Structure 1
Amino acid sequence: MTEREPGETKPSGGSAWSLSPGVTAVAIVAGVCLVGAFVMSRIELVLVAAPLLIAALWGWGSRPAGATATASATIAGDDPDGRVAVEATASAAGGPDAVHVRVSRADRAPEDAVLTPYAASRLRFRVAVSHSGPQRILSLAARAIGPDAAWTGEPSVPAVTERVVRPRAVALRSTPLPHRLLGLTGAHTSARPGDGGEFRDVDRFRPGDRLRRIDWKATARRGQRPGELYARRTTATSDVAVQLVLDARDDVPGAVADWAAPYPRPGLTSLDLAREAAVSLARAYAAQADRVGFDDLSDAGRALPPRAGARHLHRVLRAVELTSAHGSATERARAPRLAQGAIVFVLSTFLDDQATRLALTWRAAGHRVVAVDVLPGRRAEDLPSRELLALRFVDLERGLRLDRLRASGADVLVWAAQDRDAVLRRLSAPARRR
């Protein structure tokens, strides 16, 4: 995990006090009791209203002088169990009796606490991080509470700590290749003759062949005329252009009931699996000196063309780490341009038609397309009958989209499946064997 920002905010400038609703309520109750005592001639109502009225007047007159509240939070480090340690401070000027603190985390509803000024100045949190990518670790806001809680200050500017969590990379033993290798150099054996690959055949020496390729034994055995030479030919090596297309327009968890929830339950989401798949594929192909590119369907400005090298691999990995859900379903006017003969990995949940349409376009252009389904295993035990019926329609539509991709010649890979390595091994086999 790498820290993105220190997460420290500037002090807020709230200097105005607000009367507590409790003081207003006490004054209203005291006034009602006095009116009732006058109308009904009941002296006991005066005895009830008198202390309430005195308390309201006392609270009204005990307004503090200042109300400036500040909050700051910094990431102290990582604990051995994988949690992030955050040190925070909340303080208020003017000598308040207490400090109201509101703590917000990414996967939970905001939590409120009323602390003494000494306790609020020494806060420490341990936050569990269960997702990858950019995320808000903790947000802290504070406000001052006056004597007897009669006055409250303005909330401070929230202190926010953010971090970019690197996704886990899975070691891949097999990597699919395009149908045709067009590069001039690389680690993969192509079908055309050239230097650097496996043995191809023995043929007559032609202009352009190297002298060290002459096979004197084959020349002595096959030569029919003086000066007729035979050379050993090998297959050329080539590299691969890989384009990783990540659909980051939505981020859905495994529990279907939490798809529309503001605070879903902990667990892997579709973007967690997509980042893991993209990082794993990028590292596997870069280890073979292949060219790797990246594109985000939700943000056309983050596209990276396929290139080789450790520096470009770092750019691709950083682009994957910074990918977050935008929630935008805008249609692209044209499909992203790809390198000639590239293999395309479309990482999406395929909950709509845009990723499918782009994959079909690239497949029709002659590219090899691998549709990587990153939707986590669905859990629908908490759904009512109506939502279960809607989920069946969603599954049917997803199945039709994936069937269309298979019918067009594209390959489908379910990243969360247990037979993922076996499917990758089958997709990496030569076409004649598959």
Structure 2
Amino acid sequence: MTTPRAQEGATPSASDAGGGWVRSPAQAAAALVSVVCLVAAFVFSRAELVLIAAPLLIAALVDRSRRPSAGAAVDLAVEIADPAEGTTSAVTAILSAEIERESAADALHLRLATVDRPPFDAVLAPRSAAPLRLGIAVGHSGPQRILTAEARAIGADASWAGDPDASGSPTEVQRIVRPVPVPLRSLPLPARLVGLTGQHVSVRPGDGGEFRDVDRYRAGDRLRRIDWKATARRGQRPGELYVRRTTATSDAAVHLVLDARDDLPGEVADWAVPYPRPGLRSLDIAREAAASLAAAYAGMADRVGFDDLADAARALPPRSGTRHRQAVLRAIETTAARGSVTDRIRVPRLAPGALVYVLSTFLDEQPVRLALAWRAAGHRVIAVDVLPPLATADLPSRDRIALRLVLAERDVRFERLRVSGAERLQWASAERDVQLRRLAAPQRRATSGRPA
């Protein structure tokens, strides 16, 4: 169990003579109705209206004199039971709300806001609010606010209530949900491997790779590579030796460029609303794709780098090793939508001969411009489409026409990338493994690294 730190505001003490209490609308409404009834009884000579006004007026006067003497501070504490590591599921939140003992509060008003839900109000007895168990559905990866809670005390007959301005900041619980990596069977490689270590077979002669050929012994060849059977079979002169040659193993430089400037749900009607309906979003797909690719390439001892188009300060150069792998995965899981569109003035520089994955929805020109620049520099570029499957059932006809234009411009961008030599990968597609197998084919890899 983890107890997040609550943001504590100024709390009135018990010696403040009822500090933190304000009149509730119920007290003002009772006084107003009683005055209106008395005036109507005098004007229209209706004595029965006095029978309605008298109890309300007496109740308002009594409630006015029953202002609580103690403060209205409410102490909130939240405990979150974390789900299994690497999963997004429901979590249990235990909320405890305690009112000052000297306070004569009859109820507690809670305002709660959870993931992807608008705030909702609940009025509970003080005993029911300590503790209160909440089941919260967590369906997204990345940093998110699990729960926001505000509380105020309600006095007798709801005539007095805690002052919201004096109750301090609300209690917020935030967490980072790690994306679940998907095992990948096929991995595309750059057009040329320039590293000296790794598990990929290169075309250069060296140690550690597959059999290359049998040739005469030259200066610098290791004695343990002498093939005595080939020497006995091919040797023509005394002292003529033959050695077995192999190819060297190399590593690949892979750069993951994630476009975190927006986070779009599958429901197109929710693109502009503050609380979209639950469902898969583009950044969920992007985090899953980036984490899967980073884990797969790091497992092959390749050098993996990361860059966020929304924040240049979060860039990580391609490196290998366990610590760097954890740093890349941490950068991926902490990626969140920035909410504003920013332009990169300079194209980020990459390692020579790197394989570049551009993970974006490609709804604007910036990722396309960067991808074309990297293709012109000789890098192999794979455009990873992270736009979720779109649902347009709730769209009016005017918005559907606008969506067609947006998708048509998006198709034009993908065509420009294809003409330049960049390749496309739809991560949310059911044929993702087939696309990866096609991209990893040697005949595709031999020609994809040439500049357009």
Give TM class, smaller chain: over 0.9
Structure 2 CA distance for aligned equivalents of residues 291 and 10 of structure 1? 45
Residues 221 and 76 of structure 1: CA distance in aligned 2, closer, same or farther (over 3 Å): closer
1:11–1:69: 8 Å Cα contact kept in structure 2? no
CA shift for structure 1 position 7:
4.6
Q: Tell me, yes or no, if structure 1 residue 20 matches structure 2 residue 24.
A: yes
Deviation per CA, 1:25-67, whole angstroms, max 9, x where unpaired?
A: 2222222333333333443333332222222212222211121
CA shift for structure 1 position 309:
1.1
The aligned amino acid for 1:270 is S
Aligned to 1:33: 37
Number of aligned positions between the proteins = 432
Aligned to 1:117: 126
2:356–2:380: 8 Å Cα contact kept in structure 1? yes
Deviation per CA, 1:373-410, whole angstroms, max 9, x where unpaired?
A: 11111111111101111111111111111111111111
After superposition, residues 263-412 of structure 1 pair within 5 angstroms as: 263-412=275-424
1:47 to 17, 41, 51: 51
Structure 1 CA distance for aligned equivalents of residues 223 and 425 of structure 2? 47
2:88–2:141: 8 Å Cα contact kept in structure 1? no
Aligned to 1:158: 170
Aligned to 2:74: 69
2:115–2:138: 8 Å Cα contact kept in structure 1? no
CA shift for structure 1 position 431:
2.6
Aligned to 2:136: 127
Residues 391 and 170 of structure 1: CA distance in aligned 2, closer, same or farther (over 3 Å): same
Identical-pair percentage: 63
1:9–1:73: 8 Å Cα contact kept in structure 2? no
Aligned to 2:15: none
CA shift for structure 1 position 218:
4.7
SS of residue in 2 equivalent to 1:404? helix
Structure 2 CA distance for aligned equivalents of residues 432 and 115 of structure 1? 65
Residues 147 and 406 of structure 1: CA distance in aligned 2, closer, same or farther (over 3 Å): same
Structure 1 CA distance for aligned equivalents of residues 141 and 220 of structure 2? 53
Structure 2 CA distance for aligned equivalents of residues 42 and 122 of structure 1? 51
Q: Tell me, yes or no, if structure 1 residue 424 matches structure 2 residue 431.
A: no
Structure 1 CA distance for aligned equivalents of residues 48 and 210 of structure 2? 107
Q: TM-score, normalised by structure 2?
A: 0.90
Residues 181 and 363 of structure 1: CA distance in aligned 2, closer, same or farther (over 3 Å): same
Q: Tell me, yes or no, if structure 1 residue 87 matches structure 2 residue 94.
A: yes
1:96 to 79, 84, 105: 105
The aligned amino acid for 2:367 is A
Structure 2 CA distance for aligned equivalents of residues 304 and 24 of structure 1? 61
The aligned amino acid for 2:132 is L
Structure 2 CA distance for aligned equivalents of residues 5 and 276 of structure 1? 28
CA shift for structure 1 position 367:
0.7
CA shift for structure 1 position 226:
6.3
Structure 2 CA distance for aligned equivalents of residues 181 and 137 of structure 1? 44
CA shift for structure 1 position 221:
5.6
The aligned amino acid for 2:440 is S
Structure 2 CA distance for aligned equivalents of residues 184 and 433 of structure 1? 19
Query: Which is worse superposed, 129-138 or 169-178?
Result: 129-138
Residues 154 and 42 of structure 1: CA distance in aligned 2, closer, same or farther (over 3 Å): same
1:169–1:276: 8 Å Cα contact kept in structure 2? yes
After superposition, residues 115-264 of structure 1 pair within 5 angstroms as: 115-155=124-164, 156=167, 157-216=169-228, 218=230, 229-264=241-276
SS of residue in 2 equivalent to 1:417? coil
Q: Tell me, yes or no, if structure 1 residue 58 matches structure 2 residue 67.
A: no
SS of residue in 2 equivalent to 1:109? coil
CA shift for structure 1 position 245:
0.9
The aligned amino acid for 2:146 is I
SS of residue in 2 equivalent to 1:183? coil
SS of residue in 2 equivalent to 1:118? coil
Structure 2 CA distance for aligned equivalents of residues 432 and 208 of structure 1? 35
CA shift for structure 1 position 109:
1.2
Residues 5 and 197 of structure 1: CA distance in aligned 2, closer, same or farther (over 3 Å): farther
Structure 2 CA distance for aligned equivalents of residues 53 and 23 of structure 1? 10
Structure 1 CA distance for aligned equivalents of residues 396 and 310 of structure 2? 32
Structure 1 CA distance for aligned equivalents of residues 245 and 113 of structure 2? 67
2:79–2:95: 8 Å Cα contact kept in structure 1? yes
CA shift for structure 1 position 154:
2.1
